[in-house]
């Protein structure tokens, strides 16, 4: 059983993955079609200097961008939270990761001085910023404020 949040009304629905493949599940509250499976954004997307403009600035939904590095302990603590938020996105937002060591141009453009830095983009602009390792509830609250 998977919990899927309706993109239309925000209601949480229990969906059996096996049955969802054979039938089109709908929201029990408003009747809208539910997005289940890989289309729900189950994993964060990797962003590079080359793909940043398209994947983040050009996105049609809010984007939570995690600026991180593999050697950073707090970044490794935040990584499972990013995975959870991506799995819970259900098409409402995008979770992306930018390795600042491999993509210094974008990191410099964004003014990243500390990691992890979490940026929330909406309409191609930064609308929120979190610096340092934060609990899931704090990150989710900031993200939900921009949905």
DSSP 13: E
Q: Which residue of the set 6, 27, 67, 72 is catalytic?
A: 72
Residues contacting 91, CB < 8 A, separation 6+: 7, 35, 39, 40, 41, 61
Q: Among this protein's residues, is 6 annotated catalytic?
A: no
How many residues make up the chain in this entry? 147
Residue 44's Cα: distance from chain center in Å?
6
Q: Checking DSSP bridges between strand 94-99 and strand 45-47, what pairing results, if any?
A: parallel
- 72 has catalytic annotation: yes
Catalytic residue among 6, 27, 67, 75: 75
Closest listed residue to residue 26, CA positions, set 38, 40, 43, 8: 8
Catalytic residues: 72, 75
């Amino acid at each position: 059983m998977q919990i899927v949040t309706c993109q239309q009304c925000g209601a949480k629905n229990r969906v059996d993955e096996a049955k969802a493949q054979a039938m089109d599940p709908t929201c029990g509250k408003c009747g809208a079609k539910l997005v289940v499976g890989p289309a729900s954004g189950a994993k964060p997307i990797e962003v590079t200097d080359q793909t940043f403009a398209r994947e983040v600035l050009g996105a049609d939904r809010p984007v939570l961008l995690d600026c991180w590095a593999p050697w950073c302990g707090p970044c490794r603590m935040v990584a499972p939270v990013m995975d959870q938020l991506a799995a819970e996105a259900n098409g409402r937002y995008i979770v992306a990761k930018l390795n600042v060591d491999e993509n210094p141009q974008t990191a410099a453009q964004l003014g990243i001085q500390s990691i992890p830095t979490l940026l929330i983009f909406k309409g191609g602009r930064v609308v929120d910023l979190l610096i340092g390792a934060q609990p899931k509830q704090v990150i989710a609250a900031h993200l939900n404020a921009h949905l």
